[in-house]
Amino acid sequence: MKAIAQNEFGDAGVLSLQELPDPLVGPDQVLVAVKAASVNPVDYKIREGYVQGALPHHFPLIQGWDAAGVVVAVGPAADGYAPGDEVFGYLRKDHVQNGTFAELVAAPERGLAHKPAGITFEQAAALPLAGLTALQLLKKVGVGEGDTVLVHAAAGGVGHLAVQIARALGASRVIGTASERNHDFLRSLGAEPVTYGDGLEDRVAALLGGDGKVDAVLDLVGGEALSVSPKLVRDPARIGSIIDAKVRELGGQYVFVKPNSEQLSWLGELTASGEITVVIEKVFPLAESADAQRLVEGGHVRGKVVITV
């Protein structure tokens, strides 16, 4: 099969289109012909070697944890899937080597769901990691009916979905930090935008009135955004971060996204019904995966970046 792989850690220049053996299919795995995959910030961090302390890595290394495609073979213990099924999934494994930036991927059944007919392969590929991250973070801080939620970095891949999923869970108001160029974009998603940076506490208070505080905060960027969050929320236990586990020292919650087929199916249904819009800034062919990563690494993507195979 053809795949984008690397033989050493480094910048995007270490990525190349290679011919590699087809993946082995485990008893509880499904072999998927990949139609689309999406790029996440974790991909360039893996590429540069920053995740070595968390998961074993092996070369040649194919990145990618998101995919959508068509089932071509099924392991003997994998239930619920058959050749020809259209699927999508968050396909992180316990070792980093055989990812989704390839023509074929062996997908653990626990991370898969059937793709709804009403969404494209590109939309489906963009949804799993970012959507599950947003949903699990929102659930971790208990977002529900009537809540006011603040999302730091609301225009990005996780953020733009968190805004919409918060509303689907019953939040009455969602405030999103973003640069001014993304304010209209956030309004289109149902969020009230505020500019990030110095003075955020005052801007949020002016927007809210009353005690000037929100019910829950999602930190998707770390640094100053996390440090100011206790001043913005009524209960620090309802600060959630996907960036910095030190949030726990503030009394908050840390989330590292986990595969969950049931949650993924729910997100797919919301997308197919139009309740969630998966925004894709740009689509690259597999051979241009290095450029796709450079775009994400620049940090100014609105929504998601997708690779087609």
The tokens for 143 are 């977002």
The tokens for 63 are 């990145």
* Rounded Cα gap, residues 164 and 232, in angstroms: 21
The tokens for 300 are 């100014």
What number of residues does the chain have? 309
Give 227's contacts (C-beta < 8 A, 6+ positions apart): none
pTM: 0.98
Tens digit of each residue's pLDDT, the chain (309 residues) = 999 999 999 999 999 999 999 999 999 999 999 999 999 999 999 999 999 999 999 999 999 999 999 999 999 999 999 999 999 999 999 999 999 999 999 999 999 999 999 999 999 999 999 999 999 999 999 999 999 999 999 999 999 999 999 999 999 999 999 999 999 999 999 999 999 999 999 999 999 999 999 999 999 999 999 999 999 999 999 999 999 999 999 999 999 999 999 999 999 999 999 999 999 999 999 999 999 999 999 999 999 999 999
Instruction: Give residue for tokens 């939040």.
Output: 171
- Kindly list the structural domains of the chain, giving each domain's residue range(s) and its CATH number in brackets, ordered by start: 2-127+278-308 (3.90.180.10), 130-254 (3.40.50.720)
Task: For residue 100, give the DSSP letter.
Answer: S
**In terms of DSSP H, where are the helices of the chain?**
41-48, 121-126, 128-140, 157-168, 183-189, 200-208, 224-228, 261-273, 289-297
Do the Cβ atoms of 304 and 279 come closer than 8 Å? yes
The tokens for 50 are 């920053």
Do the Cβ atoms of 226 and 247 come closer than 8 Å? yes
Q: Does a cis peptide bond (omega within 30 degrees of 0) precede residue 56?
A: no
Q: Kindly report the CA angle at 14 between 10 and 18, in degrees rounded to 5?
A: 145
